[in-house]
Structure 1
Amino acid sequence: MRIIRLEETDSTNIYAKARLKEGENLVVTARRQTGGKGTKGRSFASREGGVYLSRLFFWLKMPVTEAFRIMANASVAVCRTLENYGLTAEIKWPNDVYVQGKKICGILIENVFSGDRISSSVVGIGVNVNNSLPEELKNTAISMSEAAGHLFDREDVENTLIAETGKAFDMREYRRRVGFLNRTVTLLSNGEARIVRALEVDERGGLIVESGGKRERVTAAEVSLRLAALP
């Protein structure tokens, strides 16, 4: 596996995607991103001091129905990395990783499809390590250094995360690591919001919720989740 380490790029995902045709397992890292991307087209703050990387995966027989596993694997890799440095992490379904009740990383998966198969994936991960956070995010986001009260060796964290993204994973571990269950949450879908109780995550990554005494299964493709219920 080749690792390309950059001082700065617009987005490690964009840089990695441009090399998909080379067919080589690859990791791209950057100290800074000028155009970091999050889910649903949101921007991702990428100040120096954080870890920003994208990893290319090529699959032989990955059905589209298994796409959730790619996202779950990335979340578990981040949790394992943080635990290596003494931090307790938990996943907010489907793939946000939280420490001390605040978001500590961003994950963006971009898959390439061939019929009913996923032929390759670009897994982008950004972790707040020693970087400062924009003022508007300080109530909802956190860095490793803020959580622990001291700075970390950024390159060591980067290397640990690269190693963890390549390790074996199963859905049982993901399900064990999902927190924020048995509580009221807000589900957002097509501009509409509704309050439900999040109960559990099933073996395929669906979230089981309850509302009005009725249970239903929702997927990450259908809804997004907010921890705070609407006033």
Structure 2
Amino acid sequence: MIGEKLVRVPIIGSTNDFLKENWKLFPHGAVVVADVQTSGRGRFNRTWYSPEGGLWFSILFKPRKNVRPNFYTKLCAVSIVRALKQLKVEAKLKWPNDVYVDGKKLAGILTETVFEEERLGAIIVGIGMNVNNEIPKELKDKATSLKLLVGEEFERLSVLSLILRKINKALRTYSRKSEALTRVWKNMLIQREGQLVCVNVNGERLKGEIVRIEDESITLRVQDKLMRLSSLEIVDC
């Protein structure tokens, strides 16, 4: 049961790093939630501002069979969108796993793995969501919070509990239906096949048509050339 073991800490460097270092001490489904992170991070090792008032947590998965880590990324992303809908917030996903509302980022997901002698030991999904925390002035054009969207403060642990319930339900539904999960995740994406997008790839800016969207890559048509890209960031054109 995801969240049956819940550890709450007032301040920590990173909930992901804590579980990566201590995964053997905790059962499958353990959740670590922090009031403040001092070294939160997102994709491309970017700093994730994690002050008091936000929801910063990580979930420990110890799969018994070979499961691709992105299964859990999609599982959590889909569950967050469904939880937000229950809170009257209509969210979409920016490929692959950022949660957006009205063109602004509300939450992000970072999935990391731990291997032991070439065997997958643990998958850790870190989630950061702006809830009641203030958005820095320099980020107000790009980020939002639940408080800003709804106009009232939320009890953070109640939001966490709702998300965990959605994850548990999705896990029961999709544990043997990964293709169905991928379809649901794809339908929640802002990006669509046939759409023109701009991307950053290793510092190079490209513009092209999305030919195919997969959970770990996007195939773009750039000047009649097909490019299958996995390490990319979708940016404004």
TM score, norm. by length of structure 2: 0.85
- Say which of 147, 150, 154 aligns to 2:149: 147
- Say which of 10, 15, 25 aligns to 2:13: 10
Distance 1:6 1:129 in 2: 17
What's the counterpart of residue 92 of structure 1?
94
Contact 1:62 1:119 in 2 (8 A): no
Cα distance change, pair 190–216 in 1 and its aligned pair in 2 (3 A): closer
Do structure 1's residue 48 and structure 2's residue 49 form an aligned pair? no
Do structure 1's residue 174 and structure 2's residue 185 form an aligned pair? yes
Distance 1:123 1:116 in 2: 20
- Say which of 22, 29, 32 aligns to 2:33: 29
Distance 2:16 2:106 in 1: 19
TM-superposed deviation, 1:157 = 0.5
What code does the residue aligned with 1:133 have? Answer: I
What code does the residue aligned with 1:178 have? Answer: L
Do structure 1's residue 187 and structure 2's residue 190 form an aligned pair? no
Distance 1:216 1:190 in 2: 14
Quote the RMSD (CA, aligned, Å): 2.0
TM-superposed deviation, 1:102 = 0.6
What code does the residue aligned with 1:136 have? Answer: E
What's the counterpart of residue 126 of structure 2?
124
- Say which of 221, 225, 228 aligns to 1:210: 221
Cα distance change, pair 177–88 in 1 and its aligned pair in 2 (3 A): same
Aligned residues: 223
Distance 1:200 1:97 in 2: 21
What code does the residue aligned with 1:54 have? Answer: S
Flag structure 2 segments of 5+ consecutive residues without an equivalent: 175-180
What code does the residue aligned with 2:58 have? Answer: S
Cα distance change, pair 23–144 in 1 and its aligned pair in 2 (3 A): closer
What's the counterpart of residue 22 of structure 2?
19
What code does the residue aligned with 2:56 have? Answer: Y
Distance 1:30 1:59 in 2: 24
SS of corresponding position for 1:60: coil
Distance 1:38 1:22 in 2: 25
SS of corresponding position for 1:19: helix
SS of corresponding position for 1:141: coil
Do structure 1's residue 59 and structure 2's residue 59 form an aligned pair? no
Flag structure 1 segments of 5+ consecutive residues without an equivalent: none
What code does the residue aligned with 2:137 have? Answer: E
What's the counterpart of residue 227 of structure 1?
235
Distance 2:118 2:226 in 1: 30
Cα distance change, pair 149–199 in 1 and its aligned pair in 2 (3 A): farther
Distance 1:10 1:184 in 2: 38
Deviations along 1:150-176, one digit per CA (max 9) or x if unpaired, are: 222222101112222333241111111
* Residue identity (%): 31
TM score, norm. by length of structure 1: 0.87
After superposition, residues 70-85 of structure 1 pair within 5 angstroms as 70-85=72-87
What code does the residue aligned with 1:5 have? Answer: R
